[in-house]
Amino acid sequence: MELRLVNKTAANEGHAKPLLAALAGQAARRPPVWLMRQAGRYLPEYREVRAAAGSFLDLCYTPELAAEVTLQPIRRFGFDAAILFSDILVVPDALGCDVRYVEGEGPQMTPIRDAPGVERLASGGVTEHLQPVYETVRRLAAALPADVALIGFAGAPWTVCAYMVEGHGSREFQEARRFARAAPDVFGRLIDTVTQATVAHLSAQITAGAEAVQIFDSWAGVLPESEFLRWCQAPVRRIVAELRQIHPRVPVIAFPRGCGALYPDYVRDVGCAGLGLDTAVPLRWIRAHVPDTVCLQGNVDPVLLLQGGPALAAEVERTVEALSGRPHIVNLGHGVLPPTDPAHVQMLIDAVRGP
């Protein structure tokens, strides 16, 4: 009896929220769940706010609207976490790049491909420029239900720099890879500038009320090993270490999408509390090679979520089973696809939570 009371007290000490308990290393019979891109175009209520907001950046920088679209999927589905509505490219925007979102084409900016372009970046006033984002975080921290955790985020330096060099999205990021190889010192200075800005940006989100942060390295998988270690792993290790100095109790989730066999060494070296797994990585293999102190997050196929049906519930069940007994957060292997039926998201949650 007494032991149960002690356990209950321990569980309530900062970990009353299932998502934070998982990130602190506790396994649960039914894991917590949230989805990357859980706010967005698949929700009609998002499309309505988005149309009224004007530009996408206006939406990101208007705290009232950004908080509203963050809360929409929480109201509709009751996820265990809300992820701040923002974008990874607000950091280059704050550094003085002319980031714009072109309807139907995605984000664009003038490419940076030489030393003067790197030196021109305004590394000083990043957190001043991003004050509306922190105001959004403060509003969310005040508005969320007591059992829902608030996740802040940023892009990893490699992924953000890849967009900055390319000037837009890409499948291969050829220009970024070429530049990093042709002028590694200049590219290294770009990575350093973005790394420092990212520490400041994540730290400000935490100060404003974010309880965990995720670092999205969506394009980690295009680099060969040596460059992955230099441009993905080392900067994220530095971000995690610097954040730990300032906010020792706030967990970091790293998502080095597509790094395959490099996942186990990455997580040991980076020292993150949570590891985001992409759809392709086998869970049995991860289970055998990643220490069980790390909270695993993932990795249901977003295309299966798009399709729905009994195969979706079966796959969720398999995912939960494969990681049972370990700290686990159910998520997708990448973001929700815009044509997804919201009813399929409800099916996924029902499958996680059971009868």
Q: Which residues are catalytic?
A: 37, 41, 50, 87, 163
Of the candidate spans 39-47, 205-213, 223-231, 314-322, the one that interacts with ligand 1CP by CB under 6 A turns out to be: 39-47
Q: What contacts 68, CB < 8 A, 6 or more positions away?
A: 49
- Residue 39 or 186: the one with the smaller Cβ distance to ligand 1CP is 39
- Residue 176 or 186: the one with the smaller Cβ distance to ligand 1CP is 176
Which ranges of the chain would DSSP assign to H, the alpha helix?
2-12, 18-23, 44-53, 56-60, 63-77, 90-94, 115-119, 126-129, 131-143, 157-166, 174-182, 184-208, 225-227, 234-246, 263-270, 283-289, 302-307, 310-322, 342-353
Residues 277-306 as x/- pattern, contact with ligand 1CP by CB under 6 A = ------------------------------
- Residue 15 or 41: the one with the smaller Cβ distance to ligand 1CP is 41
Cα distance between residue 275 and residue 267, in whole Å: 7
Are 255 and 215 spatial neighbours (Cβ–Cβ below 8 Å)?
Answer: yes
Are 158 and 223 spatial neighbours (Cβ–Cβ below 8 Å)?
Answer: yes
Shortest distance (Å) from residue 4 CB to ligand 1CP:
37
Name which position in 15, 41, 247, 353 contacts ligand 1CP (CB under 6 A).
41
Residues 313-352 as x/- pattern, contact with ligand 1CP by CB under 6 A = ----------------------x-----------------
- Residue 186 or 299: the one with the smaller Cβ distance to ligand 1CP is 299
Provide the 8-state DSSP code for 335: P
Name which position in 68, 87, 93, 211 contacts ligand 1CP (CB under 6 A).
87
237 binds ligand 1CP (CB under 6 A): no
CA dihedral (269, 271, 273, 277) in degrees, to 10, reads -20
Name which position in 18, 92, 107, 152 contacts ligand 1CP (CB under 6 A).
107
Closest CA to 156 of 216, 76, 199, 108: 216
Shortest distance (Å) from residue 249 CB to ligand 1CP:
23
Of the candidate spans 84-92, 108-116, 280-288, 319-327, the one that interacts with ligand 1CP by CB under 6 A turns out to be: 84-92
Of the candidate spans 80-88, 117-125, 220-228, 258-266, the one that interacts with ligand 1CP by CB under 6 A turns out to be: 80-88
Residues 238-277 as x/- pattern, contact with ligand 1CP by CB under 6 A = ----------------------------------------
In angstroms, how far is the first alpha carbon of the chain from the final one?
28
111 binds ligand 1CP (CB under 6 A): no
Shortest distance (Å) from residue 163 CB to ligand 1CP:
7
- Residue 219 or 326: the one with the smaller Cβ distance to ligand 1CP is 219
Query: Is the four-CA dihedral 25, 29, 32, 35 of positive or negative sign?
Result: positive
36 binds ligand 1CP (CB under 6 A): yes
Number of residues that bind ligand 1CP (CB under 6 A): 21
Q: Tokens standing for 310?
A: 């009994």
40 binds ligand 1CP (CB under 6 A): yes
Shortest distance (Å) from residue 51 CB to ligand 1CP:
9
42 binds ligand 1CP (CB under 6 A): no
Cα distance between residue 35 and residue 335, in whole Å: 7
Burial 78-105 (b: 16+ CB within 10 A, else e): ebbbbbbbbbbbbbbbbbebebebeeee
Cα distance between residue 271 and residue 251, in whole Å: 10
Distances (CA, A) of 160 to 87, 107, 319: 10, 12, 30
Element (H, E) at 149: strand 149-155
Q: Interface with ligand 1CP by CB under 6 A: which residues?
A: 36-41, 50, 56, 83, 85, 87-89, 101, 106-107, 153, 169, 216, 218, 335
